[in-house]
Chain A
Amino acid sequence: MAARTLFDKIWDSHVVERLEDGTAILYIDRHLVHEVTSPQAFEGLRISGRRLRRPDATIAVVDHNVPTSDRTLPIEEPESRNQIETLERNVREFGVPYFPLLSERQGIVHVVGPEQGISLPGMTIVCGDSHTSTHGALGALAFGIGTSEVEHVMATQTLLQKPARNMKVVVEGTLGAGVTAKDVMLAIIGTIGTAGGTGYVIEFAGSTIRGLDMAGRMTICNMSIEAGARAGLVAPDETTFEYVRGRPFAPQGEAFEQAVAYWKTLVADEGAQYDKVVELRAEDIPPVLTWGTSPETVIPVSGTVPDPAAEGDEAKRAQMQRMLDYMGLEAGQKIAGVPVDVVFIGSCTNSRIEDLRAAAAIVAGRHVAPGVRAMVVPGSGIVKAQAEREGLDQVFLGAGFEWREAGCSMCLGMNPDRLTPGQRCASTSNRNFEGRQGPGGRTHLLSPAMAAAAAVTGHLTDVRELI
């Protein structure tokens, strides 16, 4: 057999049947469900009289719409409440396992899956959410799907798919002080562009990636979709196995050892061919952030806002100018020093305990700058409780941060956590699209440490000045 990539191996082991035009019926091991992209799928099952084929491979949570304030109060927004109640009715009717709003296990679906051991190496994992790529950090083939495909998985436990092409992104070397997984991923997106990964699954490799903890690997894989890739992957290793060991839904005891023996085979074969290889040096990556309304608009925090006049293509030039106007920035302006109104630490990209520790390390002994609203939204109830055991909540609250309940929150502003028009936000989330965090809101994507630095200085700041 020809040398295979990690993607090839996971793919091959899940092909139920190959259809004549090369489309595969691909078996799905885990289906994660949330309240926004599932109601029409459940309704579809109901209308067609179909059953949900494998409730025991499905898990539901509420995350996108949920308030991050006091959960014992009724949900104020009627449409949000309706969507949550609709999910609760659907999970009861179809027998789907569910972590309700008041459970400590509730949280952002892409934090909850790995945390509970529901997402495991070698699996195929899907969810009606593009950031499902997060779970690739475990060495699983994980990708986002639309609601029609959600219904397809519910009914058949499979998807109709064509194999992706293979890309490898290799990062070698040691990260400098103040440089994190988020900076690495933004640098990768800045290099290959938001469509650079279209049609590919990206395997992240190299000593820098190997040296990241699971939270860092999840941050990297999470934003694979921002590079256009369907999924990101990191080959499972001892870091992965130790992370998975003992988690509630992971195999236990002897079954775990059997699983590890199999998971150790999930590496690319010697000589496996990739359709595209991109290489970066860790030493070349400084703390970075975005200046525009596309995640590829990445510049070093020591840099300046680019000048559209230097762009040759007329359409691109116009688009750059539009971004500058929207963001309220001038060409050539230094990005450090630009004042911020809001700081958001959270989202499926950066809301794990490791992210909160990194932010708290910068915040400790300092105070949020006057006029800045700073908030921390833990990724799950479990993350929140862990942070509270470590006293991180007191660090944040003492500094003037809001310490909130778990959910997607201001990453996409479906709940009341939204920017108002013109507000500028230093955000650890994943998308800086126009209006993403609220109509007219201006988003700069950066790491938790950089967000913390912006909160305490009141402007976009090189975190290295504070460490």
Chain B
Amino acid sequence: MEKFTVLTAIAAPLPEANVDTDKIIPARFLKTTKRSGLGVHAFDGMRYNPDGSEKPDFVLNREPYRKAGILITHDNLGCGSSREHAPWALLDFGIRCVIAPSFADIFFNNCFKNGILPIRLPREICDALMDDARLGANGRLTIDLERQVVVRPDGEEIGFEIDPLRKHLLLEGLDDIGQTMQHEGAISTFEAARGQAQPWQTRIVID
């Protein structure tokens, strides 16, 4: 996973609530067995006409937002399906940070696993950042994860919260499976004790 330290990028404003993961990547594109290559299908229904041509009004079809590295929306971003293809599609498009007043739980988790930083900020601040974003290339935002601030084009800094463990994993670009495997002894001990206390726990074996 790529480290997340400081990101300065064009931000795309998408002033909608409940942008669900079916919108971010429709189910018909989930037939891949890879993580990469989904960027071209990101927001497919909003981005393309049925004949495959681009919808010129959609923000990610306009310059300079084709090169956006940050996406800003309204409430409940990523609701619906648990598909990790949603952050994979965003990442493949080039999005490394998503900002919204609130996120759906599973999507929020999935972002961290892919080096995407999700930032919760109040609605008024998201609206103000969308105003910055509308300046396009002149409205680049900087995200400094170590200092936990979003820096606006005028230099104003807005703080944000993040779990210390998640921050550490993002800053170092670490895979959390390796971290958990260091606790293998505790897992085995727990498992053995559980088997003793609850002997009725069944195993799944198919002949």
Q: What residues make up the interface of A, taking CB atoms closer than 8 Å to B? A: 16-17, 19, 21, 23, 25, 27, 29-30, 36-37, 39-40, 43, 48, 50, 55-59, 64-65, 77, 79-80, 82-83, 86, 97-99, 117-118, 120, 128-130, 144-149, 151-152, 155-158, 160, 162, 194-195, 198-199, 225, 228, 230, 249-251, 255-256, 258-259, 262, 294, 315-316, 319, 412-414, 421, 431, 433-436, 439-440
Contact = CB atoms under 8 A, between A and B. Distances in A.
Given A57-B204, A128-B82, A145-B106, A435 B45 contact: yes
Interface residues of B, number: 60
A230 B204 contact: no
B33 A82 contact: yes
A435 B20 CA distance: 11
Q: Is the interface of B mostly helix, strand, loop or mixed?
A: loop
Contacts of A147: 84
B113 interface: yes
A129 B82 contact: yes
A199 B102 CA distance: 10
Given A249-B202, A413-B27, A414-B30, 11 more contacts: A21-B165, A43-B33, A77-B31, A86-B33, A99-B206, A148-B84, A149-B113, A228-B79, A262-B198, A315-B17, A431-B22
Interface string B156-177: 0000000111000000000011
Contact of B183 (A25, A98, A149, A412): A25
Contact of A258 (B35, B84, B164, B199): B199
B79 to A, nearest CB: 6
B83 A37 contact: yes
A434 B45 contact: yes
B74 A97 contact: no
A414 B27 contact: yes
B147 interface: no
A391 to B, nearest CB: 31
B136 to A, nearest CB: 21
Contact of B177 (A118, A156, A256, A440): A156
Interface in B119-171: 163-165
A194 B104 CA distance: 9
A57 B104 CA distance: 28
B40 interface: no
29 contacts: A16-B187, A17-B183, A21-B164, A37-B83, A40-B84, A50-B181, A128-B82, A130-B106, A144-B106, A146-B82, A146-B84, A146-B113, A149-B110, A160-B176, A198-B102, A228-B76, A249-B204, A251-B201, A255-B200, A258-B199, A259-B198, A294-B18, A315-B15, A315-B17, A414-B30, A433-B20, A433-B80, A436-B22, A439-B45
B168 to A, nearest CB: 9
B200 A259 contact: yes
B5 interface: no
Interface of B: 15-18, 20, 22-23, 26-28, 30-35, 45, 50, 74-76, 79-84, 87, 102-106, 109-110, 113-114, 163-165, 176-177, 180-181, 183-184, 186-187, 190-191, 194, 198-206
A43 B22 CA distance: 24
B202 A250 contact: yes
Contacts of A97: 204-206
**Pairs of residues from A and B, 8 with the lowest C-beta to C-beta distance, nearest first:** A148-B113, A79-B31, A146-B84, A39-B33, A146-B110, A144-B82, A255-B200, A56-B203
Contacts of B176: 152, 160
B25 to A, nearest CB: 11
